[in-house]
């Protein structure tokens, strides 16, 4: 067992010997050498890696090319331009060709512990080819956009790989977003079709996904966009009665069985088709579309500080190289691994580390439909034992929530198969890190705190389990190809230890996003205009005296709630839609489990008065508008907001008021200082 070494009061965790022994990268020296090569000569570094993949043809121009400085011309990033390949072919055909056909690609674990299944690479290939043919039969072709709004089921992976196979750009929307948010994303990308399922159980809750999709399609129609087709997976078990209101004869009413019978009403129209019916008719072979390295692969929306979500666009070759390589080294992938990433495929973590990264390594993964607390708080560890999971990846918010239930839920399960424990989504507090390491990992597993973003495509700052001495709370060092720097407000590089600055990157790596879909200008202003010549993450960070990077969190108007980025502007615009609200200002507030939560100040219109009921209504408004995960924790009345004379809301002061800290700092620029006292008085009792 490895215990921590004391480092002047801070804890140091050297690599675990049994992990180091088998690791691809088994010393810090080896990491340093590879890192040096990766940044000094990226071309030969990634060229070597590219040899592991199948290319239909070689690059025609430069191996990579870029411009990070908008003063010199448009921002662009290109890797292996002119080369042709297909990521789905690499994930499936290539692995089958090297003898992995009968290997399990995914175990599927249902929300109900009795539900499960698996799919081999052969079978996945067959399903993907059939579904590719389904999409083709609908006239969908390279460059078209298709929205996916699905639960964590195998068909989700089939759908995404089928899109990739024929060059359709998938836009997955997490199936927890509201119909409004879904519609906004469909419209922005002009998606021609959508893939969903009838419904899904999450814990004790039955969600009617089809209904949400129907509502979204209606919103799109009202705004002039027609979604041509809707494909529906029949996912609910026969015990869940499906009753269609105006059925096409394809729907049956099944007898209620052992599970609580719930009636899920779904509507049916001409554009709807059942997935299984469509699949029956199709061939199990489909020639992939040979894609240019820089052709779009997918888009995924992330919150933007203006409130309108941005369609982050990733391209085929660079994303393929980067997702597979980070997966291989950060989780030290070994052929006998059982790998489990708990993230939903609706977020980037699911794209890269449930689907593309593992599949391109020929790994066996797990797709889990349920939630960590159902049927009880031991579910994760029960699943770990059931499948003998070796590599496990989850979020700090889940770790903190599970900690609260005590060690028993963990220790009653063996967990002896575990080797590497990953975390992602937000800074992990040392207390949670140590619990993960000591209790979940029994002091015999490596903890990797991986920092990255939807935009980065894969891990950018992360320990390597066989090489890095870790410190709880630090994401440690850059991955291969990543050149981080910390800048002060003037754009000068900070070299002094312990001083916080803006975290930026100096040069591109293959997995970096290429543009914001349909809005290249926004891409340039969001990421490249604050500091010319750098990609700006929007996060603050500092380096300690040993060179370890500590990411401290967002320094823009974004709030990270349970690892999900929310834009305060987006929440504010939901709040002002309510008849009682004239103005709203939303700030981040610390939260024990979620990391951060949102705290809303609302100014009411004449004739309205603040009440508990109104506060609940406002919380629900945000829930309906954005999605349940965005619901604010606190709403308080604000007869006035602290504004500068030019009318800018001083959020710095609001953050202080939200936590009850009277040391609000300099208020000399405020138009009216008296609002501050009033706001302190009106803080809700539970804040
Ligand atoms: C933001 C990106 C990329 C996966 C999930 C979130 C925060 C992410 C860490 C970490 C500190 C982290 C940052 C980042 N973040 N991982 N290990 N330590 N902060 O993707 O929604 O694009 O959010 O999540 O603030 O900018 P995302």
Q: Which tens digits make up the pLDDT trace of 104-157?
A: 999 999 999 998 999 999 999 999 999 999 999 999 999 999 999 999 999 999
Cβ contacts of 365 within 8 Å, gap of 6 or more? 105, 106, 107, 338, 339, 340, 341, 354, 358, 359
- Give, for ligand 1, the residue of 400, 551, 559, 564 to mutate: max count of ligand atoms closer than 8 Å to Cβ: 551
Residue 593 pLDDT more than 90?
yes
pLDDT of amino acid 4: 64
Q: In the structure, what pLDDT confidence band is assigned to residue 670 with cuts at 50, 70 and 90?
A: confident
Do residues 149 and 176 touch, judged by C-beta distance below 8 A? no
Give the pLDDT score at 7. Answer: 58
Q: Which residues line ligand 1 (CB under 6 A)?
A: 302, 348-349, 424-427, 449-454, 475, 537-539, 551, 553-554, 560, 563, 565
Q: Which long-range contacts (CB under 8 A, 24 or more apart) does 261-267 make?
A: 262/206, 264/198, 264/199, 264/206, 264/208, 264/236, 264/240, 265/208, 265/211, 266/198, 266/199, 266/208, 266/210, 266/211, 266/232, 266/242, 267/210, 267/211, 267/214
Q: Which atom of ligand 1 is nearest to the CA of 455?
A: 22
Top pLDDT among 255 and 27 is at 27
- Which of 428, 451, 456, 548 is the best mutation target for the ligand 1 pocket, counting ligand atoms within 8 Å of the beta carbon and taking the most? 451
Which pair of structure tokens corresponds to residue 97? 């060709």
pLDDT number for residue 555: 87
* pLDDT > 70? residue 8: no
Please say whether the beta carbons of 458 and 16 come within 8 A: no
Mutation to probe ligand 1, out of 343, 425, 459, 562 (largest number of atoms < 8 A from CB): 425
Q: What is the per-residue pLDDT for 240?
A: 55
Q: 20: CA distance to ligand 1 center in Å?
A: 27
Residue 245 confidence (pLDDT) above 70 = no
Per DSSP, the three-state class of 214 is: helix
Determine the distance separating the centroid of ligand 1 and the alpha carbon of 32, expressed in angstroms.
24
pLDDT at position 238 is: 60
State the pLDDT confidence band at 249, using cuts at 50, 70 and 90: very low
3-state helix, strand, coil in the chain (%, to 5): 30, 25, 45
What would the pLDDT profile of 319-350 be if each residue is shown by its tens digit?
999 999 999 999 999 999 999 999 999 999 99
**pLDDT mean across residues, the chain:** 93
pLDDT in tens, 443-482: 999 999 999 999 999 999 999 999 999 999 999 999 999 9
Atom of ligand 1 nearest to the CA of 552: 11
Q: Which of 32, 59, 26, 27 is nearest to 43 (CA)?
A: 59
pLDDT at 305: 80
Range with the poorest average pLDDT among 236-240, 245-249, 271-275, 449-453: 245-249
pLDDT for 262 equals 56
Q: Which ligand 1 atom sits closest to the C-alpha of 303? A: 21
Q: Which of 179-188, 254-263, 517-526, 596-605 has the lowest mean pLDDT?
A: 254-263
Ligand 1 atom nearest to CA at 462: 17
Nearest CA to ligand 1 atom 3: 453
H or E stretch covering 537: strand 535-543
- Note the pLDDT of residue 428: 93
Ligand 1 centroid to 684 CA: how many Å?
30
The string of DSSP codes covering 479-492 is PTT--EEEE-TTSP
Chain-centroid distance, C-alpha 301? 10
Query: Which residue, among 548, 543, 550, 596, has the nearest Cα to 571 in the 3D structure?
Result: 596
Using the mean position of ligand 1's atoms as its centre, give its distance from the Cα of residue 551 in Å: 9
Segment among 3-17, 415-429, 542-556, 671-685 with least mean pLDDT: 3-17
pLDDT higher than 50, residue 274:
yes
- Rounded to whole angstroms, the Cα distance separating 139 from 468 reads 50
What number is the average pLDDT over the span 188-205? 94
- Centre of ligand 1 to C-alpha 290, Å, is 33
User: Which pLDDT does position 1 carry in this prediction?
Assistant: 42
Taking residues 377-386, report their average pLDDT: 98
Identify the pLDDT of residue 231. Answer: 98
SS3 250: coil
Distance from Cα 554 to the centre of ligand 1, integer Å: 9
Q: What share of the chain has pLDDT > 70, as a percent?
A: 95
Q: Which of 432, 473, 565, 595 to mutate to test the pocket of ligand 1 (most atoms within 8 A of CB)?
A: 565
Output the pLDDT for position 266. 87
The answer on pLDDT for 547 being more than 90 is: yes
Q: How far is Cα 247 from Cα 429, in angstroms, rounded to an integer?
A: 52
Separation of alpha carbons 379 and 510, rounded Å: 36
Q: What is the DSSP letter of 282?
A: -
Atom of ligand 1 nearest to the CA of 538: 26
Q: How far is the CA of 142 from the centre of ligand 1 (A)?
A: 31
Query: Whose CA is closest to 678, among 639, 650, 634?
Result: 639
Beta strand segments in 177-309, E? 193-197, 200-202, 205-207, 229-233, 241-244, 263-266, 272-274, 291-292, 296-302
- As to burial, measured by CB atoms within 10 angstroms (0-12 exposed, 13-18 middle, 19+ buried), residue 316 is buried
Atom of ligand 1 nearest to the CA of 312: 22
* Residue 257: per-residue pLDDT: 40
Q: Judge whether residue 3 has pLDDT over 60.
A: no
Q: How far is the CA of 607 from the centre of ligand 1 (A)?
A: 42
Q: How confident is the model at residue 251 (pLDDT cuts 50, 70, 90)?
A: very low
| Cα 104 to ligand 1 centroid, rounded to whole Å | 30
Res. 256 pLDDT band, cuts 50 70 90:
very low
Read off the pLDDT band of 304 (50, 70, 90).
Answer: confident
For the segment 187-215, the average pLDDT, to the nearest whole number, is 94
Q: What is the pLDDT of residue 49?
A: 98
> Residue 178's pLDDT is what?
96
Non-local CB neighbours of 473 within 8 Å, separated by 6+ positions? 427, 428, 429, 430, 433, 449, 550
Q: What is the pLDDT of residue 406?
A: 94
349 CA → ligand 1 middle, Å: 10
pLDDT over 50 at 248, yes or no: no
How far is ligand 1, taken at its centre, from the CA of residue 321, in Å?
Answer: 21
Q: Ligand 1 pocket: which of 304, 345, 421, 424 to mutate (most atoms <8 Å of CB)?
A: 424
CA–centroid distance, 495 to ligand 1, in Å, is 24
Q: Identify the band that residue 551 occupies on the pLDDT scale cut at 50, 70 and 90.
A: very high
> Measured in angstroms, how far is the CA atom of residue 626 from the centroid of ligand 1?
20
Write down the pLDDT at residue 6: 61
The number of C-alpha atoms within 13 Å of 18 and in the hemisphere containing its C-beta is 12
Q: Whose CA is nearest to atom 14 of ligand 1?
A: 453
Give the pLDDT band of residue 243 (cuts 50, 70, 90).
low
Chain position carrying tokens 């579309």: 289
- Where does residue 552 rank: exposed (0-12), middle (13-18), buried (19+ CB within 10 A)? middle
pLDDT value of residue 687: 82
| 206-221 average pLDDT score | 96
Residues of the chain with pLDDT > 90: what percent?
85
Q: 596: part of which helix (H) or strand (E)?
A: strand 595-604
ipTM, two decimals, is: 0.99
User: Which of 59-68, 262-271, 388-397, 444-453 shows the lowest per-residue confidence on average (mean pLDDT)?
Assistant: 262-271
**Rounded to the nearest whole angstrom, what is the distance from the C-alpha of residue 424 to the centroid of ligand 1?**
6
In 3D space, the residue among 104, 28, 4, 12 whose CA is nearest the CA of residue 470 turns out to be: 12
Lowest mean pLDDT among 65-69, 109-113, 264-268, 384-388: 264-268
Could you tell me the distance, in angstroms and rounded to a whole number, from the CA of residue 452 to the centre of ligand 1? 5
> Which ligand 1 atom lies nearest to the CA of residue 454?
22
Q: Is the pLDDT of residue 250 over 90?
A: no
Q: Given the CA of residue 423, which atom of ligand 1 is nearest to it?
A: 17
Which residue's CA lies nearest to atom 13 of ligand 1? Answer: 426
Instruction: Count CB neighbours of 33 within 10 A.
Output: 12
CA 595/CA 551 separation, integer angstroms: 14
């Amino acid at each position: 067992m490895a215990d921590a070494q004391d480092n002047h009061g801070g804890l140091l965790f050297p690599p675990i010997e049994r992990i180091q022994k088998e690791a691809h990268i088994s010393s810090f020296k080896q990491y340093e050498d590879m890192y040096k090569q990766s940044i000094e000569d990226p071309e030969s570094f990634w060229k070597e890696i590219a040899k592991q993949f199948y290319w239909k043809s070689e690059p025609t121009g430069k191996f990579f090319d870029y411009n990070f400085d908008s003063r010199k011309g448009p921002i662009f990033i290109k890797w292996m331009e002119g080369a042709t390949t297909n990521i789905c072919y690499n994930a499936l055909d290539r692995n089958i060709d090297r003898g992995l056909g009968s290997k399990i690609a995914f175990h599927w674990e249902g929300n109900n512990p009795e539900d499960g299944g698996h799919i081999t690479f052969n079978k996945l290939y067959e399903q993907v080819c059939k579904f590719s043919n389904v999409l083709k039969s609908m006239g969908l072709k390279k460059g078209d956009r298709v929205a996916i709004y699905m639960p964590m089921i195998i068909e989700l992976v089939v759908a995404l790989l089928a899109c990739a196979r024929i060059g359709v750009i998938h836009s997955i929307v997490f199936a927890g977003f509201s119909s409004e948010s879904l519609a906004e994303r469909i419209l922005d990308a002009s998606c021609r079709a959508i893939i969903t399922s009838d419904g899904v159980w999450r814990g004790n809750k039955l969600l009617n996904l089809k209904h949400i999709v129907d509502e979204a399609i209606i919103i799109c129609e009202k705004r002039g966009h027609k979604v041509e087709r809707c494909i529906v997976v029949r996912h609910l078990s026969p015990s869940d009665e499906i009753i269609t209101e105006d059925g096409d004869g394809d729907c049956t009413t099944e007898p209620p069985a052992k599970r609580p019978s719930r009636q899920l009403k779904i509507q049916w129209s001409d554009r709807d088709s059942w997935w299984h019916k469509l699949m029956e008719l199709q061939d199990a072979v489909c020639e992939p579309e040979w894609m240019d390295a820089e052709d779009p692969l997918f888009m995924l929306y992330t919150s933007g500080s203006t409130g309108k979500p941005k369609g982050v666009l990733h391209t085929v070759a660079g994303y393929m190289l980067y997702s597979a390589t980070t997966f291989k080294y950060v989780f030290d992938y070994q052929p006998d691994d059982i790998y489990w990433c708990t993230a939903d495929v609706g977020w980037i973590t699911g794209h890269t580390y449930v689907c593309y990264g593992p599949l391109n390594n020929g790994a066996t993964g797990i797709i889990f439909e349920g939630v960590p607390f159902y049927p009880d708080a031991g579910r994760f560890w029960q699943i770990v034992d059931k499948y003998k999971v070796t590599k496990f990846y989850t979020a700090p918010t889940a770790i903190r929530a599970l900690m609260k239930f005590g060690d028993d839920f963990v220790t009653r399960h063996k967990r002896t198969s575990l080797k590497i424990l990953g975390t992602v989504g937000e800074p992990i507090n040392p207390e949670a890190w140590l619990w993960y390491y000591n209790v979940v990992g029994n002091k015999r597993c490596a903890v990797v705190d991986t920092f990255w973003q939807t935009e980065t495509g894969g891990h950018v700052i992360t320990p390597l389990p066989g090489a890095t001495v870790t410190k709880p709370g630090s994401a440690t060092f850059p991955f291969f190809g990543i050149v981080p720097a910390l800048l002060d407000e003037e754009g000068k590089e900070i070299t002094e230890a312990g001083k916080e600055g803006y975290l930026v990157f100096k040069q591109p790596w293959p997995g970096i996003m290429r543009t914001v879909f349909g809005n290249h200008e926004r891409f340039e202003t969001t990421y490249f205009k604050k500091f010319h010549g750098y990609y700006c993450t929007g996060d603050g960070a500092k380096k300690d005296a040993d060179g370890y990077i500590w990411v401290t969190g967002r320094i823009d108007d974004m709030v990270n709630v349970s690892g999900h980025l929310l834009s305060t502007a987006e929440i504010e615009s939901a709040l002002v839609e309510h008849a009682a609200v004239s103005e709203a200002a939303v700030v981040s507030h610390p939260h024990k489990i979620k990391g951060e939560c949102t705290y809303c100040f609302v100014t009411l219109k004449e004739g309205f008065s603040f009440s508990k009921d109104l506060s609940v209504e406002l919380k629900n408004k945000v829930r309906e508008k954005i999605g349940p995960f965005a619901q604010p924790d606190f709403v308080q009345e604000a007869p006035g907001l602290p504004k500068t004379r030019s009318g800018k809301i001083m959020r710095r002061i609001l953050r202080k008021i939200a936590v009850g800290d009277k040391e609000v700092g300099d208020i000399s620029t405020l138009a009216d200082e008296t609002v501050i006292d009033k706001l302190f008085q009106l803080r809700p009792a539970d804040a």
